[in-house]
């Protein structure tokens, strides 16, 4: 879906329509040559907080998988930065183990050797000037030894409170200023603040050091094939778009459910809650992609313009008390295991009002969607781990059957299964075999696992590659982040001032209040 | 699950397939293409194994067509179809039917295959060896969107390229071409890094390997520079040199596993450039089913364009014998004497050249 080939000058600053920076054409490349993969140019990646979970389970395996698929440039370098007292070899061994445990593609010694040559480790604190001097020296050495050409991305896999520190240090030591003809990029992970104010503050800090177009915000949902497929489904086909509007759609349900609790993340989670953790970024992005108008092209600017239009057209319900629900999981049995309630988790204040479940109703005020509610819900310790977008259609205006015949007929639905079991389901009525006329719901199914087995790359693979290529299509821009907070802030404020979270037993589909919230509109939640 | 049907018909095979699917609870909806493999009994096992491995990425119905014309006139006069159906875990992530065509039926294979194609899904035909002279005109090839041949298995592998070029029809592709994707992408990446004017190129690799020639032809076609072909002991392609005024860009892979990329003025870097197995090649082929114009342009460039002399020398006389011989071999595929005679000669000149350099 990215159109990088048509915009070869994406790297670096602003790209405007008709921008034609003269670049030597590589005679060995041809847009018709679809076999040649998009290989990143000479570059390296510096990971701060490299000893963390994300780095071990996602980033390192993704880098190996990219190398294994031949998508990384020769001489690609990986620099780890953390407090731990490691030598380069210890770091390499750590990456080796992480790759063996978590990589998607089979382990191949020759690929590993290619990668291992460019691995370095820097030990130090984020306010340690020597360590950053050391980092600069290492980067310069890598340019010489590995030919990385001064192109480096800095991946901040650290809690946001360290961001100011790290970016200022990068600036102070000249690491954020690219040598002529090269680039320096910053990659940051959620949370992007915890309300509009802090998000703006964070953007200000990062933009002070890195230009806007060199900051890549990772929302790993956008790297998922199924999410990218929303755009393909809508804009590459002709059969869905005509009914993708208020004339046919009754409502949309977007669900992201987790079966796990907060695990060891008490420190991070308490005070943040599920709405800030999930709705602000993932669910609002999914909603935007489901609702946007056709972009003029898949150029990042064109896409972001459409997303911003949708997000700024979002209308909150007038009575937030009736159309939003938050909950906390109570102790219960989940999948055969007894689990404790949120308030009994280690490190959680027993008086905590943090939500582990949130459901909200939004409307989009434009010609396409006016009057169609979008129900967004997320939660921990729900029935099972699932993320899906269900577009539920209106009932047929007239049914020429007698009422008994259609008793079991529900509403038609198109469900995009984001994870797991990625695919698309269409639900419609069909005659039950037999002598009487009876119509019942059946499903038609497309599963990625069946149609393109094993080829789906992990979200992080795609996103890291896009960072190195400078393709910003799958990354939320700072305006999107700020608009999302503008949507969520009034809800959070209302929740703070009114009541407390409803309790729901772990392993169920959320509090009864959430069911009541939909029942008020004459609807019900799908069981995902 | 395995079902044997002897003296059967396509419609019986179809209903057996449906029964087998019902029994295992799966549906045909997920399969993305039909792959027809035309093989003989000897190479059927390897080809099916590769196709099954590839079908993990592209779930497909695999139809192996094995022709057994029969040795005696009596056997040749009869006609019989035997089928072996594999569904479920035994058949990768799709279903496999091995069709054995006896007697006169061997010349009507398309009548057996046509009813067994998946509805509305692309068809790919693969000849692991003995590909027809004109794949698109072949009765089985005519059913397919994609026709995969493999020049390396021909009697005269390099001459086969000219045959492929003569009969090229959009949708044709050759595994000799697929084998060099890794090299091509690495060379393109090298030029991304150092956009310089190339003044000449050298490809080095074993003899009887048309991939070396194809890589040279591709470079010639894209760069419009003289390309020299040097014969080495292999394995496969061993090196590519792109000449520039600042020095050579060299991608060197002596062991068929790890390559070294050297660019003048930049550090040497190692790159993984493993020779891939057939399953991986087939999987790559199935990823795209549209016309490969780049292959067409490369294969249609005459092998005569490659010299075995240093480009700067430009001695027409020295290049003539090889080119002539190759052209001749292309004309008469069966005649391997010419090929065998020229190859050592080419090798000798190359060796001499090396000793001189």
Average pLDDT, chain A: 86
Same domain, A210 and A241: no
Do B267 and A37 count as a contact with CB atoms less than 8 A apart?
A: no
Contacts of A110 in chain B (CB under 8 A): 257-258, 272, 274
Q: CA triplet A369, A370, A371: central angle to 5 degrees?
A: 110
Do B222 and A146 count as a contact with CB atoms less than 8 A apart?
A: no
Report if residue B341 sits inside a domain: no
A32 at interface of B, judged by CB pairs closer than 8 A? yes
State pLDDT tens for residues A159-178: 878 888 888 889 988 888 88
Report if residue B175 sits inside a domain: no
Give the mean pLDDT of A22-42.
Answer: 79
Contacts of B270 in chain A (CB under 8 A): 74, 113-114, 117
Residue after which a domain boundary falls, among B98, B130, B149: B149
Report if residue B294 sits inside a domain: yes
- The pLDDT of residue A139 is above 50: yes
Q: Of A33, A42, A454, which has the smallest distance from its Cβ to B56's Cβ?
A: A454
In chain A, which among 463-502 make CB contacts under 8 A with chain B? Answer: none
Q: CA triplet A491, A387, A294: central angle to 5 degrees?
A: 80
Residues of A designated catalytic: 282
- The residue of chain A with its CA nearest to that of B58 is A452
For A454, B122, B350, the CA distances from B48, given in Å and listed in that order, are 19, 19, 39
Report if residue B156 sits inside a domain: no
Report if residue B335 sits inside a domain: no
Do B270 and A117 count as a contact with CB atoms less than 8 A apart?
A: yes
Alpha carbon dihedral A398, A401, A403, A409, in 10-degree steps, equals: -80
- SS3 label, residue A377: strand
Are the CB atoms for B274 and A69 separated by under 8 Å?
A: no
For A375, list phi and psi in degrees, rounded to 5: -100, 120
Report if residue A394 sits inside a domain: no
- SS3 label, residue A91: helix
Same domain, A191 and A83: yes
Q: Of A30, A42, A108, which has the smallest distance from its Cβ to B193's Cβ?
A: A42
DSSP secondary structure of A243-254: GSSTTTEEEEEE
Residue B162: CB partners within 8 Å, gap ≥ 6? B302, B303, B326, B327, B330, B331
Residue B69: CB partners within 8 Å, gap ≥ 6? B75, B76, B102, B103, B106
Question: Max Cα separation, chain A?
Answer: 83
Residue B143: CB partners within 8 Å, gap ≥ 6? B36, B110, B113, B114, B117, B123, B125
Q: What's the half-sphere exposure (Cβ side, CA atoms, 13 Å) at A257?
A: 24
Contacts of B29 in chain A (CB under 8 A): 445, 450
Give the mean pLDDT of B274-278.
Answer: 87
A456 at interface of B, judged by CB pairs closer than 8 A? no
A124 at interface of B, judged by CB pairs closer than 8 A? no
Average pLDDT, chain B: 81
Do B266 and A147 count as a contact with CB atoms less than 8 A apart?
A: yes
Report if residue B154 sits inside a domain: no
Domain that holds residue A369: 223-389+477-519
Distance between CA atoms of residues B307 and B349, nearest Å: 11
For A57, A318, B187, B198, B233, the CA distances from A27, given in Å and listed in that order, are 39, 60, 11, 10, 30
Residue after which a domain boundary falls, among A169, A189, A218: A218
Same domain, B126 and B216: no
Contacts of A146 in chain B (CB under 8 A): 267, 269
Same domain, B11 and B141: yes
* CATH number for position A296: 3.30.360.10
B309 at interface of A, judged by CB pairs closer than 8 A? no
Same domain, B117 and B34: yes
Do A28 and B191 count as a contact with CB atoms less than 8 A apart?
A: yes
Report if residue A368 sits inside a domain: yes
Do A452 and B269 count as a contact with CB atoms less than 8 A apart?
A: no
B25 at interface of A, judged by CB pairs closer than 8 A? no
Cβ contacts from A onto B, under 8 A: 116
User: How confident is the model at residue A449, as a pLDDT?
Assistant: 64
B122 at interface of A, judged by CB pairs closer than 8 A? no
DSSP state for residue A282 in the 8-state scheme: I
Q: Of A74, A453, A454, which has the smallest distance from its Cβ to B261's Cβ?
A: A74
Same domain, A210 and A233: no
Number of folded domains that form chain B: 2
Distance between CA atoms of residues A458 and A36, nearest Å: 20
In chain B, which among 191-230 make CB contacts under 8 A with chain A? Answer: 191-193, 195, 198, 219, 222-223
DSSP state for residue A299 in the 8-state scheme: S
In which band, very low, low, confident or very high, does the pLDDT at B31 lie, cut at 50, 70 and 90?
confident
Same domain, A76 and A12: yes
State pLDDT tens for residues B167-196: 999 999 999 999 999 899 889 888 877 778
Chain centre to alpha carbon of residue B180: 10
Distance between CA atoms of residues A315 and A368, nearest Å: 14
A179 at interface of B, judged by CB pairs closer than 8 A? no
- The pLDDT of residue A21 is above 80: no
Residue after which a domain boundary falls, among A191, A218, A245: A218
In chain B, which among 261-280 make CB contacts under 8 A with chain A? Answer: 261, 263, 266-267, 269-272, 274
B120 at interface of A, judged by CB pairs closer than 8 A? no
Same domain, B19 and B70: yes
User: How confident is the model at residue A334, as a pLDDT?
Assistant: 81
User: Which of A9, A27, A67 has the most B C-beta neighbours within 10 Å, making it the best mutation to test the interface with B?
Assistant: A27
User: How confident is the model at residue B93, as a pLDDT?
Assistant: 67
Q: CA triplet B40, B110, B70: central angle to 5 degrees?
A: 40
Report if residue B217 sits inside a domain: yes
B253 at interface of A, judged by CB pairs closer than 8 A? no
Are the CB atoms for A33 and A23 separated by under 8 Å?
A: no
B325 at interface of A, judged by CB pairs closer than 8 A? no
Contacts of B222 in chain A (CB under 8 A): 27-28, 30
Residue B69 token pair: 């014309």
Distance between CA atoms of residues B90 and B102, nearest Å: 25
* CATH number for position A114: 3.40.50.720
Give the mean pLDDT of A99-110.
Answer: 87
Do B263 and A26 count as a contact with CB atoms less than 8 A apart?
A: no
Q: Three-state secondary structure along A23-71?
A: CCCCCCCCCCCCCCCCCCCCCEEEEECCCCHHHHHHHHHHHHHHHHCCC
- Burial label, B38 (beta-carbon count in 10 A; 0-12, 13-18, 19+): buried
Contacts of A33 in chain B (CB under 8 A): 184, 294
Nearest to B193 by CA among A201, A73, A423, A300: A73
Distance between CA atoms of residues B21 and A455, nearest Å: 24
Q: CA triplet A488, A361, A244: central angle to 5 degrees?
A: 115
Same domain, B11 and B136: yes
- Rounded to a whole number, what is the distance in Å from the CA of B314 to chain A's nearest CA? 23
- The residue of chain B with its CA nearest to that of A117 is B270
Are the CB atoms for A388 and A528 separated by under 8 Å?
A: yes
Contacts of A23 in chain B (CB under 8 A): 195
Same domain, B76 and B203: no
Same domain, A188 and A255: no
B271: left (phi over 0), alpha (psi -120 to 50) or beta: beta
Residue A286 token pair: 């999914």
Same domain, A265 and A341: yes
B212: left (phi over 0), alpha (psi -120 to 50) or beta: alpha
Do A26 and B192 count as a contact with CB atoms less than 8 A apart?
A: yes
Contacts of B223 in chain A (CB under 8 A): 27-28
Domain that holds residue B108: 2-149
Same domain, A171 and A230: no
Consecutive H or E run containing A330: strand A324-330
Q: Of A32, A37, A67, which has the smallest distance from its Cβ to B185's Cβ?
A: A37
- The residue of chain A with its CA nearest to that of B280 is A69
Report if residue A213 sits inside a domain: yes
Distance between CA atoms of residues B183 and B222, nearest Å: 14
Report if residue A461 sits inside a domain: no
User: How confident is the model at residue A451, as a pLDDT?
Assistant: 63
Nearest to A476 by CA among A228, A220, A290, A152: A220
Give the mean pLDDT of B117-122.
Answer: 86
Helices then strands, counting H and E runs in chain B, come out as 12, 15
User: How confident is the model at residue A24, as a pLDDT?
Assistant: 62
Contacts of A73 in chain B (CB under 8 A): 189, 193
User: How confident is the model at residue A249, as a pLDDT?
Assistant: 95
Distance between CA atoms of residues A146 and B263, nearest Å: 11
Pick the most confident of A83-87, A241-245, B157-161, B256-260. Answer: A241-245
Same domain, B143 and B190: no
Same domain, B143 and B187: no
State pLDDT tens for residues A439-475: 888 888 887 766 665 556 788 998 999 999 888 888 9
- Burial label, A276 (beta-carbon count in 10 A; 0-12, 13-18, 19+): buried
Q: What percent of chain A has pLDDT over 90?
A: 36
Residue A412 token pair: 């038609």
Helices then strands, counting H and E runs in chain A, come out as 17, 18
Consecutive H or E run containing B97: strand B95-103
Residue B131 token pair: 């590909």
User: How confident is the model at residue B269, as a pLDDT?
Assistant: 83
Residue B203: CB partners within 8 Å, gap ≥ 6? B212, B213, B215, B216, B219, B227, B228, B229, B230, B237, B239, B240, B306
Residue B333: CB partners within 8 Å, gap ≥ 6? B133, B154, B155, B156, B159, B160, B163
Give the mean pLDDT of A91-105.
Answer: 89
Chain centre to alpha carbon of residue A28: 35
- SS3 label, residue B356: helix
User: How confident is the model at residue B312, as a pLDDT?
Assistant: 46
- The residue of chain B with its CA nearest to that of A42 is B193
Do B57 and A453 count as a contact with CB atoms less than 8 A apart?
A: yes
Same domain, A249 and A154: no
Residue with tokens 């860009």: B249
Contacts of A74 in chain B (CB under 8 A): 186, 189-190, 261, 269-271
- SS3 label, residue B22: helix
Distance between CA atoms of residues B2 and B11, nearest Å: 17
Question: Max Cα separation, chain B?
Answer: 72
Four-residue CA torsion sign, B319, B320, B321, B325: positive
Q: Of B185, B187, B270, which has the smallest distance from its Cβ to A113's Cβ?
A: B270
Residue A178: CB partners within 8 Å, gap ≥ 6? A150, A151, A184
Do B184 and A36 count as a contact with CB atoms less than 8 A apart?
A: yes
Same domain, A164 and A249: no
State pLDDT tens for residues B124-137: 999 998 899 999 99
Nearest to A279 by CA among A172, A375, A136: A375
Report if residue A431 sits inside a domain: no
Same domain, A258 and A323: yes
- The pLDDT of residue A373 is above 50: yes
Same domain, B112 and B206: no
For B50, list phi and psi in degrees, rounded to 5: -60, -45
Same domain, B52 and B10: yes
Report if residue B191 sits inside a domain: yes
Same domain, A119 and A85: yes
- The pLDDT of residue A387 is above 60: yes
Contacts of B292 in chain A (CB under 8 A): 34-35
Q: CA triplet A98, A100, A104: central angle to 5 degrees?
A: 100
Same domain, B139 and B260: no
Same domain, A67 and A105: yes
Are the CB atoms for B234 and B195 separated by under 8 Å?
A: no
Same domain, B8 and B132: yes
Number of folded domains that form chain A: 2
Q: What percent of chain B has pLDDT over 90?
A: 36
Report if residue A8 sits inside a domain: yes
- The pLDDT of residue A3 is above 80: no
Distance between CA atoms of residues A105 and A117, nearest Å: 20
Residue after which a domain boundary falls, among A202, A218, A234: A218
State pLDDT tens for residues A51-78: 888 888 889 999 999 998 888 888 899 9
According to DSSP, the residues that pair with A294 across neighbouring strands are: none
């Amino acid at each position: 879906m990215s159109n990088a080939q048509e915009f070869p000058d994406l790297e670096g600053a602003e790209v405007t329509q008709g921008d034609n920076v003269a670049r030597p054409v590589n005679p060995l490349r041809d847009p018709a040559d679809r076999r040649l993969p998009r290989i990143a140019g000479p570059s390296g990646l510096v990971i701060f907080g490299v000893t963390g979970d994300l780095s071990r389970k996602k980033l390192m395996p993704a880098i190996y998988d990219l190398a294994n698929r031949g998508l990384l440039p020769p001489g690609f370098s990986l620099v780890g930065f953390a407090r731990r007292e490691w030598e380069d070899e210890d770091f390499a061994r750590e990456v080796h183990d992480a790759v063996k445990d978590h990589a998607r593609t089979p382990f191949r010694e020759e690929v590993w050797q290619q990668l291992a040559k460019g691995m370095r480790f820097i030990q130090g604190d984020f306010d340690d000037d020597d360590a950053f001097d050391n980092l600069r020296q290492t980067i310069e050495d890598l340019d010489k030894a590995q030919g990385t050409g001064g192109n480096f991305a800095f991946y901040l896999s650290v809690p946001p409170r360290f961001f100011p520190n790290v970016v200022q240090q990068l600036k102070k030591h000249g690491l954020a200023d690219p040598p002529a003809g090269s680039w320096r990029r910053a990659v940051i992970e959620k949370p992007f603040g915890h309300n509009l104010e802090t998000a703006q503050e964070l953007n200000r800090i990062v933009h002070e050091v890195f230009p806007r177009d060199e900051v890549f915000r990772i929302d790993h949902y956008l790297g998922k094939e199924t999410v990218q497929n929303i755009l393909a489904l809508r804009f590459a086909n002709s059969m869905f778009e005509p009914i993708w509007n208020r004339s046919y759609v009754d409502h949309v349900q977007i669900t992201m459910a987790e079966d796990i609790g907060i695990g060891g993340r008490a420190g991070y989670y308490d005070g943040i809650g599920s709405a800030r953790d999930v709705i602000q970024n993932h669910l609002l992005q999914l909603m935007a992609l489901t609702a946007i108008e056709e972009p003029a092209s898949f150029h990042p600017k064109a896409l972001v313009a459409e997303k911003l239009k949708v997000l700024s057209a979002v209308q909150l319900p007038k009575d937030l008390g009736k159309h939003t629900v938050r909950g906390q999981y109570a102790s219960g049995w989940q999948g055969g295991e007894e689990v404790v309630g949120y308030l009994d988790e280690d490190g959680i204040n027993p008086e905590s009002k943090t939500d582990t479940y949130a459901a909200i109703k939004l409307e989009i005020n434009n010609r396409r969607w006016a009057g169609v509610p979008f129900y967004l819900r997320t939660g921990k310790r729900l029935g099972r781990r699932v993320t899906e977008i269900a577009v539920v259609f209106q009932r047929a205006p007239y049914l020429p059957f007698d009422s008994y015949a259609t008793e079991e007929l529900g509403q038609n639905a198109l469900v995009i299964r984001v994870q797991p079991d990625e695919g698309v389901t269409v639900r419609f009525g069909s005659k039950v075999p037999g002598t009487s006329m009876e119509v019942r719901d059946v499903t038609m199914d497309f599963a990625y696992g069946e149609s393109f087995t094993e080829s789906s790359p992990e979200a992080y693979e795609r996103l890291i590659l896009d960072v190195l290529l400078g393709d910003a299509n799958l990354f939320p821009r700072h305006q999107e982040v700020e608009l999302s907070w503008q949507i969520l802030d009034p809800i959070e404020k209302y929740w703070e001032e009114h009541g407390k979270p409803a309790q729901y037993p772990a392993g169920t589909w959320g509090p009864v209040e959430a069911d009541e919230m939909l029942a008020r509109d004459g609807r019900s939640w799908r069981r995902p | 699950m395995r079902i044997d049907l002897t003296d059967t018909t396509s419609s019986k095979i179809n209903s057996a397939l449906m029964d087998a699917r019902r029994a295992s609870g799966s549906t045909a909806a997920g399969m993305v293409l039909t792959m027809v493999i035309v093989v003989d009994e000897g190479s059927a096992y390897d080809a099916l194994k590769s196709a099954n491995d590839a079908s993990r990425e592209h779930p497909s119905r695999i139809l192996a067509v094995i022709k057994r014309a029969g040795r005696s006139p009596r056997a040749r006069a009869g006609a019989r179809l035997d089928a072996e159906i594999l569904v479920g875990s035994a058949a990768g992530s799709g279903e496999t039917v091995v069709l054995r065509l006896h007697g006169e039926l061997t010349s009507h294979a398309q009548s057996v295959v046509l009813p067994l194609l998946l509805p509305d899904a692309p068809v790919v035909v693969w000849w692991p060896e003995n590909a027809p002279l004109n794949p698109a005109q072949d009765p089985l090839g005519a059913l397919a969107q994609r026709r995969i041949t493999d020049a390396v298995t021909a009697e005269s592998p390099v001459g086969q390229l000219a045959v492929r070029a003569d009969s090229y029809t959009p949708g044709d592709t050759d595994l000799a071409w697929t084998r060099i994707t890794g090299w091509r992408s690495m060379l393109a990446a090298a030029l991304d890094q150092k956009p310089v004017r190339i003044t000449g190129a050298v490809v080095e690799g074993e003899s009887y390997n048309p991939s070396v020639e194809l890589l040279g032809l591709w470079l010639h076609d894209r760069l419009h520079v003289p390309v020299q072909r040097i014969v080495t002991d292999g394995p496969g392609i061993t090196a590519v040199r792109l000449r520039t005024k600042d020095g050579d860009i060299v991608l060197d892979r002596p062991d068929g596993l790890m390559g070294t990329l050297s660019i003048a003025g930049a550090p040497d870097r190692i790159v993984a450039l493993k020779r891939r197995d057939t399953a991986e090649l087939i999987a790559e082929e199935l990823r795209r089913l549209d016309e490969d114009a780049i292959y067409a342009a490369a294969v249609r460039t005459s092998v005569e364009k490659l010299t075995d002399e240093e480009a700067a020398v430009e001695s027409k006389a020295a290049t003539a014998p090889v080119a002539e011989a190759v052209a001749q071999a292309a004309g008469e595929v069966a005649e391997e004497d010419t090929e065998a005679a020229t190859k050592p000669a080419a090798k000798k000149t190359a060796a001499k050249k090396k000793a001189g350099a």
